Amino acid sequence: MVLVDTDAGQGYLKAMGGPEGPHPLACEWVGTQLARWLGLLTFDFSLIEVTADDELPFAGGGHAMSGPAFIARAESGEPWSGDPKQLMRLSNPEHLARLVVFDTWTLNCDRHCAPPQRKGWLATD
């Protein structure tokens, strides 16, 4: 992911060539469309084309490749620390339960970590 400046403000860009591969691009598009269909609020986003002339370095190294990219408007916010008091500041608490169900159902990789792989264990163990 790359933080970029645009004519509409800052945005987070997921592009081809990222360390996660092309999978996150499809997940962002499908997940955003599904979330909107279910009535959840989503960030403003756009699909854009990255060209060979664009110089977009990834934080972990490497550069964005030419091709389609998903960009979402940067918004202020913070991850939940686990403090219940932080929940009192939510602007849309009525969506919280739906968001938890949605993320669990879709295994959202931004908030759902896969269990660690255990060496020497088989699925039949």
Q: Is the confidence at residue 106, as pLDDT, over 90?
A: no
The answer to whether position 18 is within a domain reads yes
The answer to whether position 100 is within a domain reads no
Share of the chain above pLDDT 90, in %: 16
Instruction: Name the packing angle between helices 23-37 and 96-106 (round to 10°).
Output: 140
The answer to whether position 33 is within a domain reads yes
The pLDDT score that the predictor gives to residue 93 is 86
| CA 39 and chain centroid, separation | 18
Share of the chain above pLDDT 70, in %: 86
pLDDT tens digit sequence for 23-66: 778 888 888 999 998 888 888 999 999 998 988 888 778 888 99
The answer to whether position 89 is within a domain reads no
The answer to whether position 104 is within a domain reads no
Higher-pLDDT residue of 116, 92? 92
The answer to whether position 25 is within a domain reads yes
The answer to whether position 56 is within a domain reads yes
| Banded pLDDT at 88 (limits 50, 70, 90) | confident
Q: How many domains does the chain have?
A: 1
Q: Which domain holds residue 13?
A: 2-75
The answer to whether position 45 is within a domain reads yes
Q: In sequence order, what DSSP letters do the residues of 64-91 get, joined into one string? A: PPSEEEEEEE--------S-HHHHTT-S
